[in-house]
């Protein structure tokens, strides 16, 4: 019998004795030896005992308990559990479509129930600047009125942001804020045209604009609402760029208790390569000087980044299929972070991009990452075999990404997040080898069992093919 546990624990032993009633009191014992996030959970003869070395461990034991608590009694089991990776994340893009604090809270609750511990907020993009800063209130004021397709916009006040950070912390999640640069910066040009280059309009951008609609071609000083990427850029020589970056990155660093600050660095297709390197080097240096660890998308691996900078890989889950044993350029750039003493967060786009369509005829989602992405495919990969030559110690963790070009409402978020986020959670937490339950066959059964729990929690998940949803 397989319990509906996701992510699957390090070890699960069935006990001979009776279990416990679903509402049995829980005894919590704090003791050494379970690691920063691990725990032991023993259910036996009417008693439930959690042992852990930290509040996070107790919290994760309670998530496991919640998954075990069906309509009947709790089974008699002895569970030992600790995560494989330290960084287990979910990214939410609040720039393409703004999502209010209540949706962010729901995402935190849902992610934490699967033992994720990082919420990466993509706060800025061509479409909007979603955080009102004291140093630069004009950014949110001028560039948060709309979303993709001309949908309503919005932004967070500093109090909202602090609330999100605290709400996440109470659920053992760290917020990683991202200000994306030097591309994805069109929104900044609404109040600071002097910092931006003229939009670079390629045939590709014309094509996307015509195919997907949602607005016209990018125009400096006009809010952007269509779907193209890669046309905007800071000007490396703009007077005031360094001061601007120091003020903006300094303020978000001061507001953020967590150790990381993400500066983007993706898809700067219209930026001269030398200028690109200078700008990501400047931004990461400013972050390091503010005593935060910089995080960038893997493209920035070409630059001379501060030691310890974390790279976020968003290539495909098997780059070796295209690039041979060493993988292609994406893999090479990802490895460069490890060579500098940093680590890598894996977000293979053809597996854990939650904005890819589930099926070819899905209402929501994109398909560029070899989509549609089935639940089976989102599960079928292992962190150790994504970037060839990247040692297990160099992998900081796994992050599922929800870009929101097509994702507008809380129900949309649920439908795209579930069940595929469960695949990412298991890749991030569970051991690769050793457990016979780390298979698609086991996962599809366990996820089916969780469907009831999700429904009871009001989560409108997608009924993915390949799972016998009850």
Residue positions annotated with a catalytic role: 267
Residues numbered 37-56 forming contacts with ligand TNX, rule: CB under 6 A: none
98 is a contact residue toward ligand TNX (CB under 6 A):
no
353 is a contact residue toward ligand TNX (CB under 6 A):
yes
Give min distance, CB of 298 to ligand TNX, in A: 8
Give min distance, CB of 292 to ligand TNX, in A: 20
Token pair listed for 425: 């959670």
Distance between CA atoms of residues 350 and 161, nearest Å = 31
366 is a contact residue toward ligand TNX (CB under 6 A):
yes
Token pair listed for 266: 């993706």
Residues numbered 309-328 forming contacts with ligand TNX, rule: CB under 6 A: 314
123 is a contact residue toward ligand TNX (CB under 6 A):
no
Residue whose CB is less far from ligand TNX, 353 or 461: 353
Give min distance, CB of 48 to ligand TNX, in A: 42
266 is a contact residue toward ligand TNX (CB under 6 A):
yes
350 is a contact residue toward ligand TNX (CB under 6 A):
no
Give min distance, CB of 266 to ligand TNX, in A: 3
Residue whose CB is less far from ligand TNX, 77 or 92: 92
Among 85, 129, 161, 403, indicate the residue that binds ligand TNX (CB under 6 A): 403
224 is a contact residue toward ligand TNX (CB under 6 A):
no
267 is a contact residue toward ligand TNX (CB under 6 A):
yes
Give min distance, CB of 403 to ligand TNX, in A: 3
329 is a contact residue toward ligand TNX (CB under 6 A):
no
355 is a contact residue toward ligand TNX (CB under 6 A):
yes
Give min distance, CB of 350 to ligand TNX, in A: 11
Residue whose CB is less far from ligand TNX, 228 or 282: 228
Residue whose CB is less far from ligand TNX, 172 or 262: 262
Place of tokens 């030398």: 274
Give min distance, CB of 110 to ligand TNX, in A: 20
Among 85, 297, 337, 429, indicate the residue that binds ligand TNX (CB under 6 A): 297
- # residues contacting ligand TNX (CB under 6 A): 10
229 is a contact residue toward ligand TNX (CB under 6 A):
yes
Contacting residues toward ligand TNX, per CB under 6 A:
229, 266-267, 297, 314, 353, 355, 366, 403, 405
């Amino acid at each position: 019998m397989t319990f509906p546990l996701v992510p699957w624990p390090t070890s699960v032993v069935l006990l001979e004795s009776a279990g416990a009633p679903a509402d049995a009191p829980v005894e919590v014992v704090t003791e050494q030896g379970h690691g920063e996030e691990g725990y032991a959970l023993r259910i036996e003869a009417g008693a439930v005992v959690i042992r852990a070395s930290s509040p996070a461990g107790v919290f994760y034991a309670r998530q496991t308990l919640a998954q075990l608590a069906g309509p009947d009694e709790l089974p008699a089991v002895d569970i030992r559990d600790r995560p494989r990776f330290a960084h287990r994340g979910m990214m939410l893009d609040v720039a393409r479509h703004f999502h209010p604090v209540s949706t962010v809270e729901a995402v935190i609750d849902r992610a934490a129930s699967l033992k994720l511990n990082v919420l990466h907020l993509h706060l800025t993009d061509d479409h909007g600047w979603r955080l009102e800063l004291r140093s630069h209130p004009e950014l949110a004021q001028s560039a948060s009125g709309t979303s993709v397709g001309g949908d309503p916009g919005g932004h967070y006040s500093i109090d909202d942001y602090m609330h999100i950070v605290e709400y996440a912390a109470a659920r053992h999640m760290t917020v990683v804020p991202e200000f994306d640069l030097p591309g994805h910066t069109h929104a900044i040009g609404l109040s600071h045209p002097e910092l931006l280059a003229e939009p670079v309009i390629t045939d590709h951008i014309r094509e996307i604009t015509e195919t997907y609609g949602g607005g016209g071609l990018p125009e400096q000083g006009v809010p952007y609402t269509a779907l193209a990427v890669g046309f905007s850029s800071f000007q490396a020589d703009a007077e005031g760029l360094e001061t601007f970056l120091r003020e903006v990155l300094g303020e978000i660093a001061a507001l953020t208790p967590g150790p990381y600050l993400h500066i983007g660095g993706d898809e700067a297709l219209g930026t001269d390569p030398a200028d690109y390197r200078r700008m990501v080097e400047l931004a990461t240096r400013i972050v390091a000087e503010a005593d935060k660890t910089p995080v960038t998308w893997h493209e920035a691996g070409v630059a001379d980044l501060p030691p310890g900078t974390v790279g976020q890989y968003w290539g495909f889950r098997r780059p070796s299929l295209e690039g041979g044993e060493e993988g292609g350029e994406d893999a090479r750039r990802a490895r460069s972070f490890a060579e500098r003493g940093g680590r890598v967060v894996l977000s293979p786009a053809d597996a854990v991009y939650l904005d890819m369509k589930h099926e070819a005829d899905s209402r929501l989602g994109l398909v560029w990452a070899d989509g549609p992405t089935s639940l089976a495919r989102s599960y079928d990969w292992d962190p150790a075999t994504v970037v060839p030559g990247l040692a297990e110690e160099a992998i900081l963790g796994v992050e599922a990404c929800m870009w929101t070009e097509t994702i507008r409402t809380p129900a949309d978020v649920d439908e795209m997040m579930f069940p595929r986020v469960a695949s990412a959670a298991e890749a991030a937490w569970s051991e690769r080898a050793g457990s016979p339950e780390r298979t698609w066959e086991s996962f599809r059964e366990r996820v089916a069992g969780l469907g009831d729990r999700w429904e009871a929690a009001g989560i409108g998940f997608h009924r993915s093919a390949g799972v016998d949803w009850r």
